[in-house]
């Protein structure tokens, strides 16, 4: 949320500099907030390098003998998964926790991000003394298939052509992501995960893990998510995709080959999505109708209001680190997600006879994945006779709450994992 | 809402035609749903003609002696207002009702639209036997200043240059729109309006009328609106503006001069905004996760889901009839709207001593202008000792409910105007 940051004030991609009467308008050159990136801008070839060889990551490769069979009916082979780990796997390999990232997350969950130089996206939850302590657990965080930080995705090099996949990369699903993660687990020699934890799209993966591999998941913590994407959520995603595809620099997805980059479209997509991550109350509390560094309106299309500057900043910084095609693929995967449909129309059947114990968490002000969705998940788990605890946390921070300082969430995750540890026979220290 | 319409199915601006594996992608040419327009497409010069000389409209012109003094500190002169009327003004000129349109509305409130050939946007409320019956009232519906259907706006010809204003048109406010409408009323020789009625941005104008000209408004019906635009609403508008300005065909607002048209950006803006006009429940009821004319996903970026096709249709048809710069100006006017700020920070002062009687209406599922906003308006009116009635209508249709078949709304408006008619001494028939 960048507290204390000075947001970009001037016109966004087109700098609209007005005299205050709208009679002087100039186009400014494209502005990128590059000052925070150690590697300068995010030129396509730069992004492609991270897409194939991400910094500060481990990579698992899967050759022709181990194809990834996709829901689309094709196989991906060869492919790779970029991932990070924290802590040490214990002797009986019973202390592994898989952390699944959200739409625009990646494997840098508990370490500085190589592009943004920001702290890991879930260092509030994972780290020494935190609810998921690497001194106790072996934490694995993979970049999802379809992502752009080293796992095979549209920005990766297609080994058959030596060029970026672009839209020739097959469309993947949440189930495909989890299928690939299970293959990573095989390669790591781990049979059963002590826990799978994630929020938003990460939470979808948690639920998919429990549905696809119930015997491999001892405990599951799906946070701020649902077992299917709603019509409204599909609609918001579709607007983001159209914003990207409407950018002439998208070039039918071939921008990496043609030396262009649909930054503008991707930034607009991010701006729109970002509103859905916050609550009306949070926006009101943070920004209200406050003007940006001035007393009165400019009567122009400058960013008069702080909330405008904030959103522009979100858009501009996002395109530094994310691939536009990857955004298309991952939003599509979320849209397709529908555990009940996969289970013949009855959600409870997705979890029938599950041995996994669940801790479902939602937030009162989350309107992207409202509590009603988590409650539906809990009802289905009850119907499947699963062990499930459920917490709705009161906060005005909206969907983003799962990434923010929410002591109640930390306490719940800590307590749930403690109990599960005892049930699993994990000692306090390895 | 286009019931029964076949939505556009194929790829949007880029037609993404996939083999089902994402390995065949072609760019299709720009598609416009032109078949419904009697004048073919909406080429810039076409739009400019409607912007200066709208069909099926009356036009009031205001010369150098009657400048419009704008909040931005400049005057607009000469300028014009396009408007429609229905019914006959009675002898003592006491039966006039001003109907104010919303962001993307216009003066074609109760007649076929000359571009879209669709019925008037509020024929459910206005017409023979309807709550606002032209047999009884003299209805005036002006296009707002800053609009694009004949009232002076960025698409109009700047008389000083003979070319479209573009971004050289001064930024206008809701108060400026109402100021211009008051000048129209002067020209029509009408001292006092029997009523002012409008929803959304139209409701803002209603409230502004009551605040600016209390002695000229006998009754006011602000529907689904607020006395100020919230941070979240400003944020959504800003995303739409950025989508337009990110379109290279926008050309810094000079597209009318350069023979381009930022259709893609405007369509994306419309798609995003349209989601906010509906409720999650309405989207779920209408579309859910239903696929478009197929049983299974295509594993592509085609419009698999009905809700995607619907949104694309909304975007494509909107650009036929609306000017991109006008969209920038009108969203800005809504963002700036803040009656309390204009009244020294206390909302009640905006209505102090008002003689107007109010009927405030909100809808339970409207999350763009939720009931809490209308309640704040009512509280301020109470504090100002105004006559006010308030109705929250239970519906799942969201913000758009004010434009739809809402019998309860019709009944409330009818009853309120009946009572006000008696108080005003209007007979049942002129």
Residues of A in contact with B341 (CB under 8 A): 289
Burial class (CB in 10 A: 0-12, 13-18, 19+), B425: exposed
Residues with Cβ < 8 Å from B163, sequence gap 6 or more?
B157, B256, B257
Mean pLDDT of all residues in B151-168: 96
Q: Would you call B332 an interface residue with chain A, using a CB distance cutoff of 8 Å?
A: yes
Q: Would you call A1 an interface residue with chain B, using a CB distance cutoff of 8 Å?
A: no
Please write the tens of the pLDDT for every residue from A239-266. 999 999 999 999 999 999 999 999 999 9
Cα dihedral A213/A215/A220/A225 (nearest 10): 30
**What is the per-residue pLDDT for A404?**
97
Q: In 3D, which of B313, B370, B328 has the Cα closest to residue B31? A: B313
Give the residue from A170, A272, A313 with the most B CB atoms within 10 Å of its CB, the best one to mutate: A272
Give B69's strand partners.
B75
DSSP state of B62: E
A283 and B232 within 8 Å at the Cβ level: the answer is yes
Q: Where are the domains of chain A?
A: 48-230+340-424
CA distance A237 to A322: 16
For residue A208, the distance in angstroms to the closest alpha carbon of chain B comes to 18
CA distance A136 to B89: 82
What architecture (CATH level 2) is domain B44-424? 3-Layer(aba) Sandwich (3.40)
A12 and B247 within 8 Å at the Cβ level: the answer is no
B150: pLDDT strictly greater than 80: yes
Residues with Cβ < 8 Å from A289, sequence gap 6 or more?
A305, B228, B229, B230, B231, B234, B338, B341
Q: Which residues of B185-214 are buried (b: 16+ CB within 10 A; e: fewer)?
A: beebebeebbbbbbbbbbbbbbbbbbbbbb
B165: pLDDT strictly greater than 70: yes
**What is the per-residue pLDDT for A20?**
29
Picking from B22, B234, B253, the nearest residue to A307 by CB comes out as B234
**What is the per-residue pLDDT for A428?**
57
Mean pLDDT of all residues in A177-182: 98
Q: Would you call B312 an interface residue with chain A, using a CB distance cutoff of 8 Å?
A: yes
Please write the tens of the pLDDT for every residue from A29-84. 222 222 233 333 444 455 558 999 999 999 999 999 999 999 999 999 999 999 99
Q: Over chain B, what is the mean pLDDT?
A: 89
**What is the per-residue pLDDT for A7?**
32
Q: What angle do CA A346, A332, A100 make, to 5 degrees?
A: 75
- A91-100, A377-386, A421-430: which has the minimum mean pLDDT? A421-430
Residues of A in contact with B248 (CB under 8 A): 248
β-strand pairing of A357-363 with A387-393: parallel
> Between B216 and B1, where is the model more confident?
B216
**What is the per-residue pLDDT for B24?**
22
Confidence of residue B47 (pLDDT cuts 50, 70, 90): low
Q: In 3D, which of B131, B125, B134, B123 has the Cα closest to residue B95? A: B134
- A218-232, A296-310, A361-375: which has the minimum mean pLDDT? A296-310
**What is the per-residue pLDDT for A28?**
26
Give the residue from A246, A247, A326, A399 with the most B CB atoms within 10 Å of its CB, the best one to mutate: A246
B417: pLDDT strictly greater than 50: yes
How many CA atoms lie less than 13 Å away from A251 in the CB half-sphere? 12
Which one from B176, B323, B399, B400 is the annotated catalytic residue?
B399
Burial class (CB in 10 A: 0-12, 13-18, 19+), A186: middle
Q: In 3D, which of B288, B304, B284 has the Cα closest to residue B296? A: B304
In chain B, the percentage of residues whose pLDDT exceeds 90 is 86
A26: pLDDT strictly greater than 80: no
CA distance A222 to A205: 8
Q: Are A323 and A155 in contact (CB under 8 A)?
A: yes
Residues with Cβ < 8 Å from B119, sequence gap 6 or more?
B112, B113
A12: pLDDT strictly greater than 50: no
Q: Catalytic: B200? A: yes
Q: Are A81 and A151 in contact (CB under 8 A)?
A: yes
Mean pLDDT of all residues in A384-396: 98
**What is the per-residue pLDDT for A284?**
94
**What is the per-residue pLDDT for B179?**
98
Q: Are A21 and B74 in contact (CB under 8 A)?
A: yes
For residue B238, the distance in angstroms to the closest alpha carbon of chain A comes to 6
- A172-186, A388-402, B27-41, B167-181: which has the minimum mean pLDDT? B27-41
Domain at A48-230+340-424, CATH from 3.40.190.10, 3.40.50.1820, 3.40.50.970, 3.30.310.50: 3.40.50.1820
**What is the per-residue pLDDT for B310?**
95
Q: Over chain A, what is the mean pLDDT?
A: 89
Please write the tens of the pLDDT for every residue from B232-253. 999 999 999 999 999 999 999 9
For residue B428, the distance in angstroms to the closest alpha carbon of chain A comes to 45
Nearest CA in chain B to A300: B171
For residue A341, the distance in angstroms to the closest alpha carbon of chain B comes to 10
DSSP state of B189: T
Mean pLDDT of all residues in B320-326: 96
- C-beta neighbour count of A32 within 10 angstroms: 18
**Helices (H), ranges, B109-173:** none
CA distance B355 to A413: 59
- C-beta neighbour count of B293 within 10 angstroms: 12
Residues of B in contact with A248 (CB under 8 A): 248
Residue reference for tokens 């996206």: A121
- A18-32, B98-112, B270-284: which has the minimum mean pLDDT? A18-32
CA distance A302 to A304: 6
Give A75's strand partners.
A69
**What is the per-residue pLDDT for A294?**
77
Nearest CA in chain B to A271: B239
**What is the per-residue pLDDT for A296?**
85
Q: Would you call B51 an interface residue with chain A, using a CB distance cutoff of 8 Å?
A: no
Confidence of residue B288 (pLDDT cuts 50, 70, 90): very high
**What is the per-residue pLDDT for A292?**
85
DSSP state of B383: H
Give the residue from A19, A154, A278, A301 with the most B CB atoms within 10 Å of its CB, the best one to mutate: A301
Please write the tens of the pLDDT for every residue from A327-356. 999 999 999 999 999 999 999 999 999 999
Q: Would you call B86 an interface residue with chain A, using a CB distance cutoff of 8 Å?
A: no
- A73-87, A283-297, B395-409: which has the minimum mean pLDDT? A283-297
3-state secondary structure of B95: coil
Residues with Cβ < 8 Å from B329, sequence gap 6 or more?
B146, B153, B154, B169, B171, B172
Residues of A in contact with B272 (CB under 8 A): 236, 239, 272
Q: Are A233 and A337 in contact (CB under 8 A)?
A: no
B428: pLDDT strictly greater than 90: no
- C-beta neighbour count of B428 within 10 angstroms: 9
Q: Is the ipTM of this complex over 0.90?
A: no
Confidence of residue B97 (pLDDT cuts 50, 70, 90): very high
Nearest CA in chain A to B277: A232
> What sign results for the dihedral spanned by CA atoms A27, A28, A29, A35?
negative
Mean pLDDT of all residues in A290-295: 84
**What is the per-residue pLDDT for A293?**
78
Mean pLDDT of all residues in B178-195: 98
**What is the per-residue pLDDT for A205?**
98
CA distance A84 to A61: 14
What is the Cα B93 distance to its own chain's centre?
A: 27
B73 and A21 within 8 Å at the Cβ level: the answer is yes
* Ramachandran bin of A297, using left for φ above 0, alpha for ψ from -120 to 50, beta for the remaining angles: beta
In chain B, residues 264-283 whose CB comes closer than 8 Å to chain A: 264-265, 267-268, 271-272, 275, 278, 280, 283
Residues of A in contact with B253 (CB under 8 A): 25
* Chain A, chain B: beta-carbon pairs less than 8 Å apart: 220
Residues with Cβ < 8 Å from B145, sequence gap 6 or more?
B68, B76, B79, B81, B151, B152, B153, B172, B176, B177, B180
B46: pLDDT strictly greater than 90: no
B376: pLDDT strictly greater than 90: yes
**What is the per-residue pLDDT for A11?**
36
Q: Would you call B146 an interface residue with chain A, using a CB distance cutoff of 8 Å?
A: no
CA distance A125 to A144: 20
In chain A, the percentage of residues whose pLDDT exceeds 70 is 88
CA distance A307 to A312: 9
């Amino acid at each position: 949320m960048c507290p204390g940051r000075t947001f970009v004030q001037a016109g966004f991609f087109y700098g609209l500099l007005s005299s205050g009467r709208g009679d002087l308008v100039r186009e400014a050159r494209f502005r990128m907030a590059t000052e925070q990136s150690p590697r300068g801008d995010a030129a396509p070839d730069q992004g492609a390098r991270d897409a194939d060889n991400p910094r500060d990551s481990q990579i698992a490769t899967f050759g022709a003998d181990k194809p990834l069979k996709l829901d689309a009916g094709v196989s991906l082979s060869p492919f790779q998964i970029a991932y990070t780990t924290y802590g040490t796997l214990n002797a009986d390999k019973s202390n592994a926790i898989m952390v699944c990232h959200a739409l625009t997350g990646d494997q840098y969950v508990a370490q500085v991000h190589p592009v943004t130089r920001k702290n890991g996206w879930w260092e509030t939850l994972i780290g020494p003394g935190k609810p998921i302590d690497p001194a106790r657990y072996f934490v694995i965080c993979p970049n999802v298939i379809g992502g752009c930080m080293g796992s095979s995705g549209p920005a990766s090099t297609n080994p058959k052509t030596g060029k970026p996949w672009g839209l020739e990369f097959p469309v993947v699903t949440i189930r495909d992501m989890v299928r690939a993660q299970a293959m990573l687990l095989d390669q790591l020699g781990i049979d059963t995960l002590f826990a799978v934890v994630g929020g938003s799209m990460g939470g979808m993966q948690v639920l998919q893990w429990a549905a696809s591999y119930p015997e491999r998941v001892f405990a599951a913590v799906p946070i701020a998510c649902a077992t299917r994407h709603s019509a409204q959520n599909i609609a918001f995603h579709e607007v983001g995709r159209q914003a990207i595809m409407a950018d002439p620099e998208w070039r039918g997805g071939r921008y990496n080959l043609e030396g262009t980059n649909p930054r503008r479209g991707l930034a607009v997509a991010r701006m729109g999505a970002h509103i859905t991550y916050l609550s009306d109350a949070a926006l009101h509390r943070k920004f209200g109708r406050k003007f940006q560094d001035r007393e009165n309106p400019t009567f122009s299309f400058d960013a008069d209001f702080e909330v405008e500057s904030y959103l522009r900043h979100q858009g501009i910084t996002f395109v530094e680190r994310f691939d536009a095609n990857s955004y298309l693929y991952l939003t599509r995967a979320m849209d397709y997600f529908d555990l009940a449909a996969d289970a013949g129309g009855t959600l409870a059947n997705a979890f029938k006879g599950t041995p996994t114990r669940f801790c479902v968490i939602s937030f009162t002000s989350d309107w992207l994945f409202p509590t009603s969705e988590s409650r539906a998940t809990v009802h289905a788990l009850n119907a499947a006779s699963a062990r499930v605890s459920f917490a709705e946390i009161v906060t005005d921070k909206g969907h983003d709450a799962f990434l923010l300082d929410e002591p109640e969430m930390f306490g719940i995750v800590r307590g749930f994992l403690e109990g599960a540890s005892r049930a699993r026979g994990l000692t306090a220290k390895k």
